[in-house]
Amino acid sequence: MSTTQTPRFYAARLAGTSVFDPIGDAVATVRDVVVVPQDRAPARAVGFVVEVAAKRRVFLPITRVTSISPGQVISTGVLNVRRFEKRAGELLVIGDLLDRVVSLTDGSGEATVLDVALEQNRHRDWEVSRLHVRRRAKGGSLSRLVSRGATLTVDPEEVTGLYGTQAEQSAHLLAASYQELNPADLGEIIQELDAKRRIELAAELSDERLADVLEELPEDIRVEVVTGLDATRAADVLDVMDPDDAADLVQELPEQVASELLDLMEPEEAEDVRRLLAYDEYTAGGMMTTEPLVVAPETPVATCLAMISREQLHAALASTVHVCRSPLETPTGKLLGIVHFQQLLRERPDRAVGDLLDADKVAVAPSAHLSEVTREMATYNLVSIPVIDDDGRLLGAVTVDDVLDHVLPEDWREEDEPRPITGQIDLSEIARATSRDSREGEG
């Protein structure tokens, strides 16, 4: 902290500082400062990246920091142990801004950022206030001798390029402004952007956020986005997608690109995708997800409900628990039956789920055509249906959203007005199958 009246700290000097809880116990170590650039206002700090046990990096909101001084940061003691991931529009001071080359607005040349100072304003918000920079050598022997190594401290307004190019800054702000939109609405906006802008915006989204948005885009646009990304980043996005959605996307890519991305994916995730690619697209095997909820028959109801309540689990998948013999990862041991979540809510928490199996042992083979899958789901009012092999082993599950994706026209996302759907599938059957399913939790 500065000795001046205005509270101030330098990010690089603060790195490595211990974070203490209110009773004086060290709980973490500062590794970086998270800031959000603002239009016509100084960049604002929103928190710290801190390292806790096992070198895990988590986010400490600035609102939970009560004091910042040389050698210590004091917090309220409450830490969310979820691994840190940058949100749209955020930058890391040390990771993104230090060593960045900026141009001095007085025309004297370029400089490299060595450190960034943040001050607390009258509203008690921490803002980027000063930059410590080193001038870069200019052409000509005399000017190089004069300017080499010279350091100075300037206001952020005295440089350009601190937050990247104009396009990069704009993409940061654009992504931040869309942070609260659900994936379907953001997908519609992306469709309206030009190709270059789409890639810039996609690069600003987290892997999970981009994966959700890709599922809402028409085939040609999502192929364009994925092929426009760095291959390693594209593989990371495929890793966090549901296997069936990742398989659909891989199938749409040029063969050479698809092969490269599968090689870059995590081996287990890639294996699931390759399994799905072996089936025809309009069969149960081609539509299923390989990650349904699977439990052993002795699992308590309370454990099943805890699994269902996970935020990242889609509503359709959360509707059904599949009870199987070990092993419990697809392809599993024999499928014993399914239990719907409504029944779990009505049972004692300690009761074994194996006692609650649905009397209707409904399942389809991986070769079952779309029309057969739809008919079975409508007949038994299912939101998802198990897929089993000839030996009764669970391979996966087809959910109603997978069925809808394959029934609707390929260009349905591009339609301004609904139009009649041709074919042999009766959508009234699907409507009945989905009547009890709420999709609000998926947004």
Question: Between these two residues, 369 and 56, which has the higher pLDDT value?
Answer: 369
Asked if pLDDT for residue 398 goes beyond 90, the answer is yes
Provide the β-strand partners of residue 49: 32, 59
Asked if pLDDT for residue 265 goes beyond 50, the answer is yes
Confidence category of residue 333, pLDDT binned at 50, 70, 90:
confident
Give mean pLDDT, residues 14-36: 92
Asked if pLDDT for residue 167 goes beyond 70, the answer is no
Confidence category of residue 138, pLDDT binned at 50, 70, 90:
low
Euclidean distance between CA atoms 356 and 358, whole angstroms: 6
Question: Between these two residues, 179 and 301, which has the higher pLDDT value?
Answer: 301
CA–CA distances in Å: residue 164 to residues 40, 282, 330, 360: 16, 45, 45, 60
Confidence category of residue 182, pLDDT binned at 50, 70, 90:
confident
Give mean pLDDT, residues 421-433: 42
Give mean pLDDT, residues 159-167: 76
Q: Mean pLDDT check: name the lowest of 81-85, 129-133, 420-424.
A: 420-424
Question: Between these two residues, 428 and 292, which has the higher pLDDT value?
Answer: 292
CATH class of 8-90: mainly beta
Q: Mean pLDDT check: name the lowest of 26-30, 46-50, 75-79, 131-135.
A: 75-79
- Strand ranges for 354-437 from DSSP E: 384-388, 394-399
Asked if pLDDT for residue 350 goes beyond 90, the answer is yes
Euclidean distance between CA atoms 443 and 211, whole angstroms: 13
Torsion of CA 380, 381, 384, 385, to 10 degrees: 10
Q: Per-residue pLDDT tens for 214-262?
A: 988 888 899 999 999 999 999 999 999 988 889 989 999 999 999 999 9
Q: In the chain, where are the structural domains located?
A: 8-90, 95-166, 178-278, 294-442
Confidence category of residue 81, pLDDT binned at 50, 70, 90:
confident
- The pLDDT, as a whole number, for residue 419 is 43
- The pLDDT, as a whole number, for residue 335 is 93
Same fold, 8-90 and 178-278: no
Q: What are phi and psi of 72, to 5 degrees?
A: -160, 145
User: In sequence order, what DSSP letters do the residues of 384-399 get, joined into one string?
Assistant: EEEEE-TT-BEEEEEE
Euclidean distance between CA atoms 204 and 201, whole angstroms: 5
Q: What are phi and psi of 235, to 5 degrees?
A: -65, -40
Closest CA to 87 of 183, 207, 169, 184: 207
- The pLDDT, as a whole number, for residue 139 is 53
Contact (CB, 8 A) for 308 and 344: yes
Euclidean distance between CA atoms 427 and 410, whole angstroms: 16
Question: Between these two residues, 138 and 137, which has the higher pLDDT value?
Answer: 137
Asked if pLDDT for residue 145 goes beyond 90, the answer is no
Give mean pLDDT, residues 410-420: 50
Asked if pLDDT for residue 5 goes beyond 70, the answer is no
Angle, helices 166-177/195-204, rounded to nearest 10 degrees: 70
- The pLDDT, as a whole number, for residue 148 is 54
Euclidean distance between CA atoms 374 and 382, whole angstroms: 10
Q: Mean pLDDT check: name the lowest of 151-165, 198-212, 401-415.
A: 401-415
Instruction: Work out the end-to-end distance of the chain between its first and last CA atoms, rounded to an integer number of angstroms.
Output: 42
Pairing verdict, β 26-38 and 91-92: antiparallel
Q: What type of residue sits at position 140?
A: G
Instruction: State both tokens at 431.
Output: 């409507």
Q: Per-residue pLDDT tens for 49-73?
A: 999 887 788 999 999 999 998 789 9
- The pLDDT, as a whole number, for residue 425 is 41
Question: Between these two residues, 249 and 191, which has the higher pLDDT value?
Answer: 249
Homologous superfamily, domain 178-278: MgtE N-terminal domain-like (1.25.60.10)
Homologous superfamily, domain 294-442: CBS-domain (3.10.580.10)
- The pLDDT, as a whole number, for residue 414 is 52
| Arithmetic mean of pLDDT over the chain | 83
- The pLDDT, as a whole number, for residue 354 is 93
Asked if pLDDT for residue 146 goes beyond 50, the answer is no
Element (H, E) at 318: helix 315-318
Question: Between these two residues, 235 and 424, which has the higher pLDDT value?
Answer: 235
Question: Between these two residues, 146 and 276, which has the higher pLDDT value?
Answer: 276
Asked if pLDDT for residue 170 goes beyond 80, the answer is no
Q: What are phi and psi of 5, to 5 degrees?
A: -65, -35
- The pLDDT, as a whole number, for residue 193 is 77
- The pLDDT, as a whole number, for residue 154 is 95
Asked if pLDDT for residue 415 goes beyond 70, the answer is no
Pairing verdict, β 151-154 and 159-160: unpaired
Euclidean distance between CA atoms 300 and 349, whole angstroms: 6
Contact (CB, 8 A) for 70 and 152: no
- The pLDDT, as a whole number, for residue 197 is 80
Closest CA to 71 of 130, 20, 128: 20
Euclidean distance between CA atoms 427 and 418, whole angstroms: 14
